Amino acid sequence: MHITVINPNTTRAMTDMIGSCARGVAGPGTRISAVNPTMGPASIESHYDEALSVPGLLHEIAEGERAGSDGYVIACFGDPGLDAARELAGGPVVGIAEAAMHAATLVGRSFSVVTSLSRTVGRAQDLVRHYGFADRCVGVYACDIPVLALDDPSTGAAQVIIDLCRQTVERDKADSIVLGCAGMADLCSYISAEVGVPVIDGVSAATKLVESLVTLGYSTSRRDEFARPLPKAYVGGLSAFELVD
Amino acid sequence: MHITVINPNTTRAMTDMIGSCARGVAGPGTRISAVNPTMGPASIESHYDEALSVPGLLHEIAEGERAGSDGYVIACFGDPGLDAARELAGGPVVGIAEAAMHAATLVGRSFSVVTSLSRTVGRAQDLVRHYGFADRCVGVYACDIPVLALDDPSTGAAQVIIDLCRQTVERDKADSIVLGCAGMADLCSYISAEVGVPVIDGVSAATKLVESLVTLGYSTSRRDEFARPLPKAYVGGLSAFELVD
Amino acid sequence: MHITVINPNTTRAMTDMIGSCARGVAGPGTRISAVNPTMGPASIESHYDEALSVPGLLHEIAEGERAGSDGYVIACFGDPGLDAARELAGGPVVGIAEAAMHAATLVGRSFSVVTSLSRTVGRAQDLVRHYGFADRCVGVYACDIPVLALDDPSTGAAQVIIDLCRQTVERDKADSIVLGCAGMADLCSYISAEVGVPVIDGVSAATKLVESLVTLGYSTSRRDEFARPLPKAYVGGLSAFELVD
Amino acid sequence: MHITVINPNTTRAMTDMIGSCARGVAGPGTRISAVNPTMGPASIESHYDEALSVPGLLHEIAEGERAGSDGYVIACFGDPGLDAARELAGGPVVGIAEAAMHAATLVGRSFSVVTSLSRTVGRAQDLVRHYGFADRCVGVYACDIPVLALDDPSTGAAQVIIDLCRQTVERDKADSIVLGCAGMADLCSYISAEVGVPVIDGVSAATKLVESLVTLGYSTSRRDEFARPLPKAYVGGLSAFELVD
Amino acid sequence: MHITVINPNTTRAMTDMIGSCARGVAGPGTRISAVNPTMGPASIESHYDEALSVPGLLHEIAEGERAGSDGYVIACFGDPGLDAARELAGGPVVGIAEAAMHAATLVGRSFSVVTSLSRTVGRAQDLVRHYGFADRCVGVYACDIPVLALDDPSTGAAQVIIDLCRQTVERDKADSIVLGCAGMADLCSYISAEVGVPVIDGVSAATKLVESLVTLGYSTSRRDEFARPLPKAYVGGLSAFELVD
Amino acid sequence: MHITVINPNTTRAMTDMIGSCARGVAGPGTRISAVNPTMGPASIESHYDEALSVPGLLHEIAEGERAGSDGYVIACFGDPGLDAARELAGGPVVGIAEAAMHAATLVGRSFSVVTSLSRTVGRAQDLVRHYGFADRCVGVYACDIPVLALDDPSTGAAQVIIDLCRQTVERDKADSIVLGCAGMADLCSYISAEVGVPVIDGVSAATKLVESLVTLGYSTSRRDEFARPLPKAYVGGLSAFELVD
């Protein structure tokens, strides 16, 4: 099985870390390709960044289709372009926010999200509601460390996140924590050991969900909404995205 | 006051029709610019099209800012890029789905949406929930006529839409109808006369809402989520979207 | 266009202030009549007051109809008698709580309400849910200053309200503030300047919404629920409210 | 124990029937007073009628307080003036829609409402949501017989209602039926025998609920919202409603 | 009328106290049998305990049916086995959580629950949502005293509960308190006197609700879901539960 | 890895079929034990059956713990005893309704459930809401074939189910189908081929979810609610369930 894990920002080091996390949980017969677009923002920290990450993301889906990929992970916590990616991909597509929240509801009643910048809290709340977990999510907190600084030891990100986790477990009675940024994936086991409740990384959770869906033979329904987009004219700087029958 | 109405697809004829509808309701001191991107899809009929309309839309917001526009209408019923546009624009931004649904709740308890292709029904339902109107929306129906064929008389679009409107008023007890596509804007008064309940066009509704917000002095809160996006590197085909301080 | 702004309490000074706020935002072709009932409570600070303000309010609607009014604002934050007024009026009717909350959702994700007495908090919460904005409202606070004392400088109302606004912006991450009493309308711009997020006054917001609906040609649906009430016998002290065919 | 059952319309024959139904279920030590206002509408079939029934209803509450009543039933399915009545009454107050819906949820998962005129369906839906039973109510239907004609044999009301009950049990899988008008109270047992699922009359249900609350020693919380209304000036035709300390 | 009050744990002293509370509110013609299973846990403080209390509870329902009981109270705040009991019993069955929450919504807008151990908070929240009262419940707190120690004076349970009640009234603006454990039934009036808002005990509330339903002639709908269970083979240690036609 | 799949009814043939389905999707390093209780009902078709399946189910969990099982599947669509099982098991526990619904939301916007007897529809609706998927589930239908007759060719179960699937896809626009009974697991691929949208079997979906959670190192949070039950006295026929420290 071949799963493509797409980091929608253009920072290769983060893509490598994400790929490594995915490979750490993939089954023996699963090959992981970790890729990122060559166009768009270096990190995703606003609705603007997120919207502009989607063309590059969709290009990577199209590349994955040509390469015969069986399924896809979208490795940014805003789950950018998920619905569009599902129209385009033959196999299943799962976002890391979606995957982490689903996993959280299987290991406890309540969860909190700890994300990067406070300006992304709203998007996380949107997704919580969209996926149906408004009754289960008891808090969304931001560590206020930029995405690309999370693995810079000088920011002390792990400790800041651990402190937020402990606070929300104590104050909000969270049964588990969802890490709200792909850039936190490699901190997950360290944080988990300190916090004492499940700390869930969406990159690895999504990888297992996609792998499971492929094994089960389930992919996106083609009934109507998620059928392949209709071919039509695309012009200007995005004309390469024109689909043909 | 200067309001920019953005048709996010690249079809100039549709932009002209939309501009004309907006001008028909704008106040005496309001100037309407109707624009469309020069990159992206000719029409928006899938999540894929919608995602790929957003870069062009954001470019038009940036252009509007340079031209001193006081507010913006996003004239596609999926309200594409609305959150990102709010980060970028100094003045208020309103989507036509949002505007039409708000208006509908002010003239009755219940409304139905009549949209273009059935594959767009899901997006309309998403927006209904997102805007808080799940208890008010009693039906979402599709006329199954492509966006760019709506004003082709040979499709008989107006009559198909009128029939759907009558059905949902009868079956679902809808107090009003929301037209689910900017391409229906110029059919609104004709349909309304036939159906006997308010039939709401989002283009004109959004134009009045933006005009009202500008007069009232209210624009998007800059508290945190909708503050101007942080500057950062943008590369490749989208490098023109890089913001600077 | 002629819009009647009804202050449902019997305090003329408050009516004058409300009328002045409405005129401050009305378009050049809009005439504002600010009226209040001659029967009922001097201020509305309980469910009891609110219920007993409605007969006088409905009388003013009937008077407005005779005078050819095109639309109505109900200028009390409990939106008293709104559904009944919609049955009676030929043109659109908008409540100031409704208008302010709608406006708030267009300028940010979250809002808080700052109201007068704490005993009115429950009614504000009721309206938040009724209008569909339970996910958007992050707090309802009371300044605990009586309605008629809000513009008495000795109460320091503006400062108390400003302090509450700042607290909820900080604690609840409110993107905007909705002022929960018509008696606060003239404090709005002063408070807004101090607080740094949009502070929304329902009187002016409702005035613009009614004006917009009239321009758009939308009024209350007459399909069934909001058709004109059936004529029938009214007796006793309220016999003047009997409608005839 | 003394319970006052208030028919908020001014039709004495209906009051007598309601009183009879209440007495039929009251405990041995309970005295039922059935009263109606001497001002207001002869029947309640619109928001307008409902709003104008409330002053008379509140007058009856005040009379009941003077007479030492221990609790109150509001015997109109719109539950008019319920919150205001709770502020005014020393003992518990229960509306018949509220009571019937509560009872319905105790005898099955789902219920439907069968009401009088179709224009009242919206109010019933409002109450369903307000009381928390949106997930439990699977249908609201109208027999389209005016309130005062329900017990006119020539309208065949019982049979029309029975047919609607059978339809909703079959189509919507309703476990029980809530009768949506006090004027149907005396038809309840006859309908129930024909329909084969519990058919719930709010007048008798509310009588037992009030009796239970009085026995249990529970009355409306005086914490804040439902404390006695503040005294203040009332003028004009409603000056008799002025409260004093 | 004969009502069987079932304490689903096996602690006879608690059963006696519960029976005494039920008898204290029952009408003159009502006989109360207070029973408990002879198999299962001594107290119910986990999902495990609750699940294993149900066979014994169902046995008591079957015994009650043989003895001609007219209705049943399930006197544990988790409302264990309620749906199964409704299938088995000819008369109405009400749980004490259900009864207390229904009562709370009739005496105020908001309530809080004060329960025994913190590990039971989740179950209480589940029930709040299941019964439709998520908008009304403003807090669930635990006194962290085991069920069987609540009436041991050395634990000071009453004072701990009073303190929690006062805190939630102050902080959460709770209009009333629901006591979240049958073991608190006899503390109710003492706590209530100290707290100043209605404090609701589910045992007495459920007793009155069952008595009311029996008087009203309403029992569980037999339409489909709650019809008598189909007979089938039961084996092993639970073979005595096999039903026959 | 060792996963125990528990069929909570006592019918060994069904257990064997379930085990076979689980083994068909398990990874190469995963050993599946398929077990069923030796006490309780032969099939689960009522709340009564479901409640009485739980002791046997919990016994199998305890046996699994002694045997070193890494995780558990509860293979009955009512997800009986799930919360109690989570307290008892060291590893993750997933119900098949839960698993199937989670999977359905990953492959489309909407799903319908097709279950066995109509009396179980209510329980399925309960679970839909409990898991957060009320907005996603567009229908619950029953084939009205008893659980143990589903694989009796003379009942034509597969064709009846296929017809229901096609109807709900057409009428309700379901993107996928969730099979609402473990007894349908072996029909899944046949039905899926006929229906043309994803048809999801919870047994295989839950097996992959448990396997994924074990690989990811996530198990039930021990924070509070799902910590191991407190030891206490258990008496009578269930004394074997007493836990010791």
pLDDT digit string (tens) for F41-75? 999 999 999 999 999 999 999 999 999 999 999 99
Angle (CA) D12-D13-D17 rounded to 5° is: 115
Q: Which fold has domain B97-202?
A: Rossmann fold (3.40.50)
d(CA C202, CA D5): 39
ipTM of the complex: 0.97
* Distance in Å, alpha carbon of C188 to nearest chain D alpha carbon: 26
The architecture that CATH gives domain C2-95+204-241 is 3-Layer(aba) Sandwich (3.40)
Nearest CB neighbour to F132, from listed A135, A173, A209? A135
F129 by Cβ neighbours in 10 Å (0-12 / 13-18 / 19+) ranks as middle
Chain E contact for D33 (CB, 8 A cutoff): no
Best mutation target, F10, F50, F52, F131, to test chain E (most E CBs within 10 A): F52
Fill in the amino acid letter for D48: Y
Chain B contact for C131 (CB, 8 A cutoff): yes
Taking an 8 Å cut-off on Cβ atoms, the answer to whether F225 and A175 are in contact is yes
Which alpha helices (DSSP H) does chain C contain, by range?
A: 12-25, 47-66, 82-88, 96-106, 121-131, 157-172, 188-195, 202-216
Return the CA Rg of chain D: 17
CA distances from B171 to B141, E208, F171 (A): 12, 42, 15
* E2-95+204-241 and E97-202, same CATH topology: yes
d(CA A151, CA A101): 23
> Which of E168, E126, E156 minimizes the C-alpha distance to F225?
E126
* Distance in Å, alpha carbon of D133 to nearest chain C alpha carbon: 14
d(CA E229, CA A149): 61
> Which of C77, F81, D223, B49 minimizes the C-alpha distance to E51?
F81
CATH number of F2-96+204-241: 3.40.50.12500
b/e map C30-60, b = 16+ CB within 10 Å? bebbbbbbebbbbbbbbbbbbbbbbbbbbbb
Backbone φ and ψ of E183, nearest 5°: -70, -10
List CB contacts of E73: < 8 A, sequence separation 6 or more.
E3, E4, E5, E6, E22, E93, E94, E95, E96, E99, E203, E206, E207, E210
In the prediction, which pLDDT does E244 show?
A: 84
Do residues B86 and A46 touch, judged by C-beta distance below 8 A?
Answer: no
Query: How many interface pairs between A and C have CB atoms less than 8 angstroms apart?
Result: 7
In the prediction, which pLDDT does E182 show?
A: 93
- Residue F42 burial (CB count, 10 A): 17
Question: What angle do helix axes A202-216 and A96-106 make, rounded to 10 degrees?
Answer: 90
pLDDT band, residue C47 (cuts 50/70/90)? very high
Smallest CA–CA distance from B47 into chain A, residue: A84
* Chain B residues in contact with D118 (beta carbon < 8 A): 173
In the prediction, which pLDDT does B51 show?
A: 98
In the prediction, which pLDDT does C170 show?
A: 96
* Distance in Å, alpha carbon of B174 to nearest chain D alpha carbon: 11
Chain C contact for E171 (CB, 8 A cutoff): no
* Strand, helix or coil for residue D94: strand
Do residues F77 and F124 touch, judged by C-beta distance below 8 A?
Answer: yes
* Strand, helix or coil for residue E206: helix
* Chain B residues in contact with A83 (beta carbon < 8 A): 47, 123
List CB contacts of D7: < 8 A, sequence separation 6 or more.
D14, D15, D18, D34, D35, D36, D75, D76, D182
* Distance in Å, alpha carbon of D173 to nearest chain F alpha carbon: 10
List CB contacts of C146: < 8 A, sequence separation 6 or more.
C43, C45, C116, C117, D230
In the prediction, which pLDDT does B151 show?
A: 84
pLDDT digit string (tens) for A154-181? 999 999 999 999 999 999 999 999 999 9
* Chain C residues in contact with B223 (beta carbon < 8 A): 108, 169, 173-175, 196-197
pLDDT digit string (tens) for E122-166? 999 999 999 999 999 999 999 999 999 998 889 999 999 999 999
* Distance in Å, alpha carbon of C171 to nearest chain A alpha carbon: 13
Q: What number is the average pLDDT over the span B170-181? A: 97
Nearest CB neighbour to D81, from listed C51, C120, C146? C51
Whether F16 has a pLDDT exceeding 80, the answer reads yes
Smallest CA–CA distance from C135 into chain A, residue: A129
User: In sequence order, what are the beta bridge partners of E57?
Assistant: none
pLDDT digit string (tens) for D71-100? 999 999 999 999 999 999 999 999 999 999
* Distance in Å, alpha carbon of D140 to nearest chain B alpha carbon: 12
DSSP string, chain A: -EEEEE-SSS-HHHHHHHHHHHHHHS-TT-EEEEE--SSEESS--SHHHHHHHHHHHHHHHHHHHHTT--EEEE-STT-TTHHHHHHH-SS-EEEHHHHHHHHHHHS-S-EEEEESSGGGHHHHHHHHHHHT-TTTEEEEEE----GGGTT-GGG-HHHHHHHHHHHHHHHH--SEEEEE-GGGGGGHHHHHHHHSS-EE-HHHHHHHHHHHHHHHT-----SSTTSPPPP--EEGGGGGG----
Tokens of E172: 């959460």
User: In sequence order, what are the beta bridge partners of B10?
Assistant: none
Smallest CA–CA distance from A122 into chain C, residue: C109
Specify the DSSP class assigned to residue E148: G
Taking an 8 Å cut-off on Cβ atoms, the answer to whether D107 and E213 are in contact is yes
* Chain A residues in contact with B47 (beta carbon < 8 A): 83-84, 86-87, 225-226, 229
pLDDT digit string (tens) for C93-105? 999 999 999 999 9
In the prediction, which pLDDT does B39 show?
A: 97
Do residues B162 and B193 touch, judged by C-beta distance below 8 A?
Answer: no
Nearest CB neighbour to A223, from listed F105, F136, F197? F197
Enumerate residues 42 to 71 of chain A having a beta carbon within 8 A of any beta carbon in chain B: 42-43, 45-52, 54-56, 58
Enumerate residues 108 to 127 of chain C having a beta carbon within 8 A of any beta carbon in chain E: 118, 121-122, 125
* Distance in Å, alpha carbon of C109 to nearest chain A alpha carbon: 7
d(CA F51, CA E82): 10
User: β-strand A234-235 against C176-180: which pairing, if any?
Assistant: unpaired
Chain E contact for F8 (CB, 8 A cutoff): no
User: In sequence order, what are the beta bridge partners of D113?
Assistant: D140, D178
User: In sequence order, what are the beta bridge partners of F112?
Assistant: F139, F177
d(CA E232, CA C72): 66
Angle (CA) C87-C91-C95 rounded to 5° is: 75
Chains A and E touch (3+ CB pairs under 8 A): yes
* Chain B residues in contact with F109 (beta carbon < 8 A): 122, 125
d(CA B147, CA B157): 10
d(CA C210, CA B136): 20
Taking an 8 Å cut-off on Cβ atoms, the answer to whether C235 and D122 are in contact is no
Taking an 8 Å cut-off on Cβ atoms, the answer to whether F215 and A102 are in contact is no
Q: Element (H or E) spanning D40, and its range?
A: strand D40-41
Count of positions (residues) in chain F: 245
Chain F contact for D173 (CB, 8 A cutoff): yes
In the prediction, which pLDDT does A244 show?
A: 84
Enumerate residues 182 to 221 of chain E having a beta carbon within 8 A of any beta carbon in chain D: 189, 196-198, 200, 204-205, 208-209, 211-213, 215-221
Taking an 8 Å cut-off on Cβ atoms, the answer to whether A173 and E121 are in contact is yes
Count of positions (residues) in chain A: 245
Q: What number is the average pLDDT over the span C128-136? A: 98
Whether F192 has a pLDDT exceeding 80, the answer reads yes
Do residues A200 and A103 touch, judged by C-beta distance below 8 A?
Answer: yes
In the prediction, which pLDDT does A245 show?
A: 74
Whether C244 has a pLDDT exceeding 90, the answer reads no
In chain D, which stretches have pLDDT less than 70? none
Chain C contact for B171 (CB, 8 A cutoff): no
Chain B contact for D134 (CB, 8 A cutoff): yes
Smallest CA–CA distance from E54 into chain F, residue: F51
A90 by Cβ neighbours in 10 Å (0-12 / 13-18 / 19+) ranks as middle
Specify the DSSP class assigned to residue E229: P
Fill in the amino acid letter for F113: V
* Distance in Å, alpha carbon of F104 to nearest chain B alpha carbon: 15
Q: Which chains have at least 3 CB atom pairs separated by less than 8 Å from chain C?
A: A, B, D, E
* Distance in Å, alpha carbon of B187 to nearest chain F alpha carbon: 28
CA distances from F52 to A119, A193, D111, F56 (A): 50, 39, 28, 8
pLDDT band, residue A116 (cuts 50/70/90)? very high
Return the CA Rg of chain B: 17
Chain B contact for C79 (CB, 8 A cutoff): no
Do residues E219 and D107 touch, judged by C-beta distance below 8 A?
Answer: yes
Enumerate residues 136 to 155 of chain C having a beta carbon within 8 A of any beta carbon in chain B: 136
Backbone φ and ψ of E96, nearest 5°: -75, -30
Best mutation target, B107, B138, B173, B176, to test chain D (most D CBs within 10 A): B173
Smallest CA–CA distance from F199 into chain A, residue: A218
Fill in the amino acid letter for D179: L
Whether C245 has a pLDDT exceeding 90, the answer reads no
Do residues D4 and D73 touch, judged by C-beta distance below 8 A?
Answer: yes
* Chain C residues in contact with B27 (beta carbon < 8 A): 27-28, 215
Q: What number is the average pLDDT over the span A63-81? A: 98
Q: Where are the domains of chain A?
A: 2-96+204-241, 97-202
Nearest CB neighbour to A238, from listed B39, B146, B227? B39
Taking an 8 Å cut-off on Cβ atoms, the answer to whether B109 and D122 are in contact is yes
Smallest CA–CA distance from A110 into chain E, residue: E122
d(CA E212, CA C132): 35
Chains D and A touch (3+ CB pairs under 8 A): no
pLDDT band, residue A74 (cuts 50/70/90)? very high
Give residue D123's region: left, alpha or beta (phi > 0; psi -120 to 50). alpha
